[in-house]
Structure 1
Amino acid sequence: MGQGTKRTIGVYGAAGHTGKFVANELRRRGWSPVLVGRDARLHELYPGADVRIAAVDDAAALDRALAGVGLVINCAGPFLETADPIVRAALRAGAHYLDVTAEQPSARAILAQFGNAAAEANVVVSPAFAFYGALADLLTTAAMGDWPKADTVTIAMALDRWWPTPGTRITGKRNTARRIVISDGQPTFVADPPHRRTWDFPAPFEAQEMIELPFSEIVTIAHHVQAREIHSYINLAPLTDIRNPDTPPPRAEDESGRSAQTFAMDVVVEHGNEQRRATAQGRDIYAFSAPLIVEGAERILNGRAKRAGTAAAGELFDAPDFLASLAEHLTVTFR
């Protein structure tokens, strides 16, 4: 599934925290992306680059901004406000679409609404192609291996801290929808109060107190993995950070702009009496999302996606191979 000569990648929200990481990752890999945003400060951030200004509620401006673009990466939240109009603009342009949403309602809506249109346009539309969403989906798909279905999928995430970006704070205030998990094969609201448990991670996290708090990974996994139960937990420590209004935004600790934050993600799939486990460890959930989504974009434009339409990362690519391609940024173990 190629796009001929339409191989330029557009980044919507290139002025934001994650958008900057994505733009820099594209440049590091030799791309000259089209950088799109809602105001003219983009010209100051990226002097000499191909900068285009378009508000999400201006369809004509979006069409001009995506002219000649073969794939657009949407980094501008809240995605409940931006994803729908940018997907529609991408379809009008004949361009693939990826985004970095952690918002369950946005990911569910995009996957449900645009399947036929994306397939007819022969493009990929894949929301939540980031730390939240795609990483757990790829780990789950890789751990499943030759199993056609699983009884349970459990995702456990640990962050040593969480310095939220302004966009994360805005999204948190606006996204008040109740979160879902998969229980008895059906989307089900998280229990109130949420379930708590202890989880043993590899060092340096080790034993952590966890709470059920699912993000877009429930949506991406359930889109193509047959499992009776899919549940997702996060450790308590970073929630204290993000709920504190005085917690500062991420601070660069190296030349790439990454913060000192570290993470671990543990995925356990069970089928009958068998259990398989995949664990990933890395640094800075915002920065890590850049090589993840750019790798996906390159593979799509190089014709390596398995199919067109709406799909999650694990549906589109060979999951173990994709994870191996991120070895510079991610340590993955299977057991």
Structure 2
Amino acid sequence: MKIAVHGASGFTGGLVVAELARRGVPAVLVGRSRERLRETAGTEVRVATLDDPDALAAAFADCAAVVNTAGPFTRWGGPVLRAALAARVHYVDTSGEQGQIHDVLATAGPDAERAGVTVVPALADDGGPGDLIAALTAARVAPGREILVADLRAPGAASRGTARSMASIVARGPLEYADGGWRPDDGGHDPVVLPGERVEVASFPLPGVATVPRHVPAARVRAAMRADVVKLFGSFDPGAAELAPAVLDEATRRAGRWFMLARATGDGGTATGTVTGPDPYGLTAVIAVEGALRLARGEARPGALTPAQAFEPAGFLDALVPHGVAWRVE
């Protein structure tokens, strides 16, 4: 079994390749530059550009799954997804871009079903755990009236790829789900109260608004992020994004910590779920690889699915615990 990694010469792509190597899974490195791909530890290199769909599909053809790590996904994700479908291989990506994730889930299902493969976007440290913990939290109070998915990580270093994606999604603006459909978020959130801390939050286009309403029958789903981080990401216009470092050193990576919260209100009262872990970029690689391998083993039905639709939520989160992740619902 081989797993293709598109964007393997990039920061996140290199971490995905390293995680595959740690698990003893052969990686096929796919990108536009043979020289850059050869700088990444791997056994097989295939050159294919986004404007050559036949070559891209051929690069994926004998692989069990594709992990797409090359963002901004709003700009560059479409050709990779279409090539994976043409090659009839499973697809996951590490996108955190709400609008792109919404579009993939809304449109890719019929083609994925015809190809007999599964498409799961948003397998990163925010979208994956956020969707999984929201499913588990909402189940405690079903039927739910309102769900909040919040990213409560403290400000930290961001790579150039993250900065580019943030510039892309901030320009599009946040959505909320209400009245049976998606619409622009009207803003305004109460602070999130945690043990010993009162966190000011603001609306932000997190993946959860695109994913959670597809499997949780809530009247309203909203997303928020720590207000000071929203301010930081709002400063990433396309020019400023290019000034961010392409790669974060290991010490900087490991100093970071991500924290996703889901709060569900329903007829059964209110439930809160949290999931947190170290090294946001390293854990993104772990999450994406875990998802790709589960698809390769046939653990999900064909179609375009959210993480919680594709995988049993508690089992997936438990698989992350050896990597320093902790989760709970109360």
TM-score scaled by length of structure 1: 0.89
Letter in 1 for 2:98: Q
Q: CA deviation at 1:332?
A: 0.5
Quick check: 325-334 or 162-171, which moved more? 162-171
Moved more, 209-218 or 145-154: 145-154
**CA–CA separation in structure 2 for the residues paired with 1:112 and 1:248:** 33
Q: 1:226-245 deviations in whole A, cap 9, x for unaligned?
A: 11111111112323444274
Q: Residue 125 of structure 2 contacts residue 258 of structure 2 at CA under 8 Å; is this kept in 1?
A: no
The structural deviation recorded for 1:171 is 2.7
d(CA) in 1 for partners of 2:155, 2:296: 35
| Counterpart check, 1:210 vs 2:201 | yes
Is the Cα–Cα contact under 8 Å of residues 158 and 235 in structure 1 kept in the other structure? yes
- 1:57 paired residue among 46, 51, 63: 51
* Counterpart contact for 2:253–2:280, Cα < 8 Å: no
Q: Distance in 2 between matches of 1:196 and 1:275?
A: 17
Q: SS in structure 2 opposite 1:234?
A: strand
Give the alignment partner of residue 195 of structure 1, picking from 188, 196, 202: 188
1:318 Cα deviation after fit: 1.2
Partner SS state of residue 15, structure 1:
coil
1:130 to 2:121 alignment:
no
Matched, 1:274 2:274: no
> Could you tell which deviates more after superposition, 245-254 or 292-301?
245-254
Q: Distance in 2 between matches of 1:49 and 1:247?
A: 30
What one-letter code is carried by the residue in structure 2 that aligns with 1:49? T
Q: Structure 2: 5+ residue runs without aligned partners?
A: none
Residue 76 of structure 1 corresponds to which residue in structure 2? 70
TM-score scaled by structure 2? 0.90
Query: 2:71 aligns to what SS in structure 1?
Result: coil
Larger fraction in helix: 2
Report the equivalent of 1:145.
139
Q: Which amino acid aligns with 1:231?
A: R
Partner of 1:110: 104
Alpha-carbon contact 1:140-1:221 (below 8 Å) kept = yes
Deviations 1:61-83 (A, max 9, x none): 20231131120011001112222
Whole-Å separation in 1 of the counterparts to 2:307 and 2:154 = 26
Contact residue 61 and residue 89 of structure 2 kept, 8 A: no
Task: Tell me the equivalent position of 1:4.
Answer: none
Partners of 1:19 and 1:32 in 2: how far apart?
A: 14
State how 1:177-188 maps to structure 2 within 5 Å: 177-188=172-183
Q: What secondary structure, in the 3-state scheme, does the structure 2 residue paired with 1:152 have?
A: strand
Q: Is the 8 A contact 2:92 2:288 kept in 1?
A: yes
Secondary structure in structure 2 of the residue aligned to 1:107: helix
Q: Is the 8 A contact 1:201 1:264 kept in 2?
A: no
Deviates most, 220-229 or 242-251 = 242-251
**Kindly, what percent of the aligned residue pairs are identical?**
30
- RMSD between superposed Cα atoms in Å: 2.1
**In 2, distance between residues paired with 1:220 and 1:152?**
14
Residue 253 (structure 2) pairs with residue 251 (structure 1): no
Aligned equivalents of 2:37, 2:306: Cα separation in 1: 33
After superposition, residues 1-335 of structure 1 pair within 5 angstroms as: 7-46=1-40, 49-145=43-139, 149-175=143-169, 176-191=171-186, 194-202=187-195, 206-242=197-233, 243=235, 245=240, 251-254=248-251, 258-305=253-300, 307-329=301-323, 330-335=325-330
Q: CA deviation at 1:40?
A: 2.5
